[in-house]
Structure 1
Amino acid sequence: MPQPDADTHRLLHTPAEAAALLAVRESWLRREAGRREIPCTFLGRHLRFSSDDLASIAGQAPGPHAPPDHRAAAPSPFGTESSSCAATLALLGHRSVHPPVTP
């Protein structure tokens, strides 16, 4: 029976290697492992990932790894520029130097 290539079937991967294989940032991988949110192995203080760990992490993701666009998700609490400026000035007790905008 042929032996698997040692370079492609390593027993444990470093965080940098695991991040490259998963196409994620190493800092994210370390943070999630530190929180115990993803499967990992600690050898003393050294963080490592098995092939099973990597498969499990990859299987947890529902879709492509893309950062969420937080700017588009939440509408501005201030509304449109003309209404928000007038409302802010009214709350602060200031008078606008411009006449009110009518729609």
Structure 2
Amino acid sequence: MTNSVPAPPMDVDIPDEVAAQAFRRLVRHLRHRHDAENIDLMGLAGFCRNCLADWVQEAGGAEDRDAARRLIYGMDFATWKSRYQGEASEEQLARMKESVAKNADHP
């Protein structure tokens, strides 16, 4: 039996000032929590720091992907990756694949 949860409405009624403050706090939190690897975020929630950077770029907040990633990571992605990102296990990759599949019907 599948537990079907209704999708939330597409309109998010959060004032821009509040959304901006919450977004900045999320970015600070992700910069602090290096132990929360992107592969694990993808496996659990279907998004990671790179996704967040892509959304920033798509919203016009950065000229290109590298600039958007610098905004999110607080450094070049290559530097962050070499310092904090480990090799993904087969289990992590499988969880990520399953989780990302759930994103197919979401814009």
TM-score of the aligned structures, taking structure 1 as reference length: 0.22
Richer in strand (by share): 1
TM-score of the aligned structures, taking structure 2 as reference length: 0.21
Instruction: Report which of the two structures shows the higher radius of gyration computed on alpha carbons.
Output: 1
Richer in helix (by share): 2
